[in-house]
Chains A and B, each alone.
Chain A
Amino acid sequence: MPVRRPAPLSAGLAVAIALGTVALLHGGRIAAAALIEGVGCGVLGAGVAGVRRGWRVTGGVVAAGGAGVAAGALVWGLGVAGDAVGLLTTLPGYLGAVVLFLGVMPLYGSGSRWLVKAGAGLVLAGVLLAGLLNSAGFGSLLLATAGSVVAWDLGENAIGIGEQLGRETPTARIEGVHALGSVAVGGVAVWSVQFASGWTPADASLSSVLVLLLAVLAFTVALHE
């Protein structure tokens, strides 16, 4: 059976969203660095696809170029991040995006769900650290959390579709519909948390936070029945 690589549309979207969360959280030059890293990854992916299809020399050159651009953007972004706090919140995001990209490029075989999960997890870690250190606004944090989950979802879907249908099959429709669904759920999540948080002021006392915690846990347990 031929090796089936992940569907490119969802794969590209997944990486883009992962980098987008980094850009969203930190803005400014870090966002620019994330954008350039995204472009570099895209070029690298195209080059690798070319090499696998047989255009060794052209593909190799393109891939090397893309890798160089992505690495350069990464280094620049980290440099721009500034102090330790900045590094702690941006490094996991960048790294996560790169790891996710390797999972869907794919680095080997038909893609690695593990790498995709790890990459999205790293991006999420960056978001949570940013929340912990209060280095981003609540709205951005919410969107970035949703973004990391959607990035994982699209990456895993890309691998699954690639395994079952193959890259050359036109699958844009099912990928698009699935992506819309996940983004919609993310949007609803963000909106409802914002709505719910309107009920508890930001400097709420510990007891009210505890009540909220118990409610959430009870709901979660009920859902898992």
Chain B
Amino acid sequence: MSGRQSTNRWRGVIAVALVAAGMGLLAENPALFLLGGVGVAFAAYPLLSPAPDPHLELERRLGAVSPRHGETVEVTTTVRNAGSRPLFDVRFLDGVPDALSVTDGRARRGLVLLPGDEASVSYTVTARRGKHAFEPATAVVRDLSGATEVELDVDTESEIDCVADEGDVPLRDRTTTPAGRVLAEDGGTGVEFYRTREYRRGDPLNRVDWNRLARTGEATTVEYRRERAATVVVLVDAGAAAYRGRGGEPHAVTLGVSAAEQVAVALLEGHNTVGLAGVGREPCWVAPAGGRDQRVLLRKTLATHVTFRSTPPAETTAVVGQAERIRSRLGPTTQLVVVSPLADDDIVEAIRAFDAHGHATTVLTPVVTADRTVGQRLAEVERRNRASRLRSAGVTTIEWEPDTPLVAALAAAGGNRR
């Protein structure tokens, strides 16, 4: 984190002294000789200038913590010199998340900070879908002569969480009669009355008939259905191969974590019992349960568990083995929603194993391949092959472009039967 380095920029200035003194001596010219004294003084300057020992504190204020896609967010970062020595040359670069770009102002500044002084850097970023955590800011501090440079990271937790356009999704009119009362009025017991219609863009996720979606691939919205609680586990693929994305955009694991949260919350609101699983660095498992506590637990696990970290793992991950262990924990009627970019065959194998053991599986896959190089196009072809292999095995696979909201992808899936 902290690195002190000599810049060696003053190396060689002693030559000034030696050349002047040498010439003066050779020419027996005392005035010329004495000019060397100037060189000596400048050679002493970096040696006498104390190396900086910076202690910096950071505070970051965001204009909006949960913006919509495309909304501008104003960021104001304040740096404070918490040490007791003045810092004459602080070159500050704020840790803007990789996937976001600065659209107004600059995230970097040169600062002079006396002890206790504060300075602010203000700029604007444009929000994109996904969770974006700010990286630690970098400060390169030099002493007055520029001879020693100390680089340090200054961190404070900041995050921009941009989810799909929740504002666009109209809440179902709560005055429509809930299924329970309809049944009571009909007087029939054990009769399940429900009506389904084709999914329309704008329908909230918690009204999607997941069973039907898994069985037939049709995205339908259920109305007046007596809520039958389903047990669903949302599995996020965070294997080493899944950490890929288009340059400058969030990678599939970031998108997947965000999508998993939306799906899990929507299902919980539909009174289903929802659990969470993850494959990657380590297997992650949260047993299915319902209620508000479960929602908090799922959100917290997605945000903090080591499996869902946004930096890729250093080694390859044993996805198939972890999936098997997860499968052994699933109840017989548990359904699965897998969020994966289908970047390698391991996850496909795991999905087919789930399906073969009788768990209805739906796959949501963000399309994060680009087509600029041959390698990228090959990756795209492979991804599509895996998706069609899954479909032909009877697993509903829904692709979504990260730039569009998830609900739109579901609407499209309902449109063309794949």
A residues bordering B, Cβ < 8 Å?
117, 124, 127-128, 131-132, 134, 138, 141-142, 145-146, 149, 153, 156-157, 160-161, 164-166, 168-175, 177-178, 181-182, 185-186, 188-190, 192-193, 196-197, 200, 202-204, 206, 209-210, 212-213, 216-217, 219-220, 223-224
Contacts and interface: CB of A to CB of B under 8 A. Distances in A.
B281 to A, nearest CB: 31
Contacts of B25: 209-210, 213
Contact of A131 (B31, B91, B112): B31
Given A200-B30, A220-B40, 18 more contacts: A134-B31, A142-B34, A145-B38, A156-B9, A160-B146, A165-B93, A168-B106, A169-B110, A171-B110, A174-B90, A185-B145, A192-B41, A193-B38, A209-B28, A212-B33, A212-B34, A213-B21, A216-B36
Contact of A173 (B16, B31, B110): B110
Given A174-B110, A193-B38, A204 B91 contact: no
A224 B14 contact: yes
Interface in B30-59: 30-45, 47
A185 B32 contact: no
Contact of A149 (B13, B23, B28, B140): B13
Contacts of B111: 173-174
A193 B44 CA distance: 14
A132 B27 contact: yes
A220 B91 contact: no
B89 A216 contact: no
Contact of B146 (A117, A178, A197, A213): A178
B88 interface: yes
Contacts of B12: 117
Interface of B: 7, 9, 12-14, 16-21, 23-25, 27-45, 47, 88-91, 93, 106, 108-112, 140, 144-146
A189 B47 CA distance: 15
B90 A209 contact: no
A166 B93 CA distance: 11
A156 to B, nearest CB: 6
B38 A213 contact: no
Contacts of A212: 33-34
Nearest to B145: A181
Contact of B144 (A117, A181, A217): A181
B110 A161 contact: yes
Given A128-B19, A224-B14, A169 B106 contact: yes
B109 A169 contact: yes
B41 A177 contact: no
Interface of B is mostly: helix
A204 B31 CA distance: 10
A49 B93 CA distance: 25
A103 to B, nearest CB: 14
Contact of B35 (A127, A169, A204, A220): A127
B14 A220 contact: yes
A216 B25 CA distance: 12
A132 B7 CA distance: 34
B14 A213 contact: no
A178 B49 CA distance: 12
A145 B38 CA distance: 7
Contacts of A153: 146
Given A177-B144, A181-B144, A197-B34, A132 B41 contact: no
A124 B90 CA distance: 31
Given A174-B110, A178-B88, A206-B28, A131 B45 contact: no
7 contacts: A124-B16, A132-B23, A141-B32, A170-B110, A186-B41, A189-B42, A224-B43
Nearest to A206: B28
B38 A202 contact: no
A169 B37 contact: no
A164 B91 contact: yes
Of A156, A170, A173, A206, the most chain B CB neighbours within 10 A belong to A173
Given A160-B146, A170-B109, A200-B30, A223 B35 contact: no
Contacts of B37: 189, 192-193, 196, 216
A224 B15 CA distance: 12
A138 B21 contact: no
Contact of B34 (A157, A170, A196, A224): A196
A131 B35 contact: yes
Nearest to B20: A128
A168 B108 CA distance: 10
A149 B20 CA distance: 13
A209 B21 CA distance: 10
B38 A209 contact: no
Contacts of B34: 138, 142, 193, 196-197, 212
A138 B31 CA distance: 7
